[in-house]
């Protein structure tokens, strides 16, 4: 089924608690899980993907009573690792309520990398997740929290979207997905990305695995974009 015309790349998915999301910086940087069940695509991939064009974000949510909600943001981008993958968002629409806007401009925090605004307390450790936390006791959302499976009594550490079911209800399913905002370019044209270029021999291509994994060269002359970046093509990632 195509959501809002299709073309969405799903980068976060929760559905049954089969994958642990209380992970460290490296796991969230490079991604983890099973693309056929639960997973996080990886912050480094998201940074590269959202830097290519004007992207929008959609968050789909459901509870154990069969209620479904969604939130949509007309622009979405992550900063690079130097900003600790800062969250940048546009205007909200939808019926889930805006429980992500409070995290705008925040850096990503994991249990082993504290970038929130609270001194002496790591919000990821406190909320048993990884997110763009600001103040630990005032979270709008925590979709990478523990999978409690409905109502729970521990403190705000479940799969939470505050404006949907509050902080003591852990949601059944979540999907975070992005797509190129088609209003930012002509719908009749395709975005073409050159990932390999040779023209004058100025760059050496007899390189090792790491060079080809992450890319090398000069984008204004000769280069290889990088296999890791190529792997995030929407044709290789679950889309809806």
Whether residues 79 and 148 fall in one domain = yes
pLDDT in tens, 42-69: 999 999 989 888 899 999 999 999 999 9
State the pTM of this model: 0.78
The number of helices, as runs of H, and strands, as runs of E, in the chain is: 6, 15
Whether residues 211 and 165 fall in one domain = no
Whether residues 158 and 210 fall in one domain = no
Rounded-to-integer distance, Cα 150 and Cα 128, Å: 16
CATH at residue 58: 3.90.215.10
Q: Locate tokens 């809002």: which residue? A: 4
Whether residues 208 and 143 fall in one domain = no
Whether residues 145 and 209 fall in one domain = no
Q: 145 lies in which domain range?
A: 9-179
Whether residues 125 and 200 fall in one domain = no
pLDDT in tens, 113-159: 999 999 889 999 999 999 999 988 767 999 999 999 999 998 889 99
Whether residues 154 and 204 fall in one domain = no
Whether residues 158 and 198 fall in one domain = no
Band (1; pLDDT cuts 50, 70, 90): very low
What pLDDT, on a 0 to 100 scale, did the predictor assign at position 237?
Answer: 38
Q: Locate tokens 């044709």: which residue? A: 235
Whether residues 60 and 155 fall in one domain = yes
| Domain total of the chain | 2
Whether residues 200 and 164 fall in one domain = no
């Amino acid at each position: 089924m195509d959501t809002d015309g299709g073309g969405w790349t799903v980068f976060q998915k929760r559905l049954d608690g089969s994958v642990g999301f209380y992970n460290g910086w490296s796991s969230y940087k490079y991604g983890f899980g099973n693309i056929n069940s639960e997973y996080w695509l990886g912050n480094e991939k998201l940074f590269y993907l959202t830097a290519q064009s004007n992207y929008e974000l959609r968050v789909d949510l459901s509870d154990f009573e069969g209620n479904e909600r969604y939130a949509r943001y007309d622009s979405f981008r992550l900063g690079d690792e130097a900003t600790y993958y800062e969250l940048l968002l546009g205007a909200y629409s939808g019926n889930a309520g805006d429980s992500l806007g409070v995290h705008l401009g925040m850096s990503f925090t994991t249990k082993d990398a504290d970038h929130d605004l609270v001194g002496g307390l790591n919000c990821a450790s406190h909320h048993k997740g990884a997110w763009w936390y600001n103040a630990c006791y005032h979270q709008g959302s925590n979709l990478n929290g523990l999978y409690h499976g409905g109502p729970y009594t521990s403190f705000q550490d479940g799969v939470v979207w505050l404006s949907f079911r509050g902080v003591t209800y852990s949601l059944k399913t979540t999907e975070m997905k992005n797509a190129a905002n088609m209003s930012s370019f002509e719908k009749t044209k395709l975005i073409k990305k050159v990932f390999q270029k040779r023209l004058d021999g100025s760059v050496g291509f007899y390189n090792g695995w790491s060079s080809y994994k992450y890319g090398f060269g000069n984008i204004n002359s000769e280069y290889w974009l990088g296999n890791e970046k190529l792997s995030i093509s929407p044709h290789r990632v679950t889309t809806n």
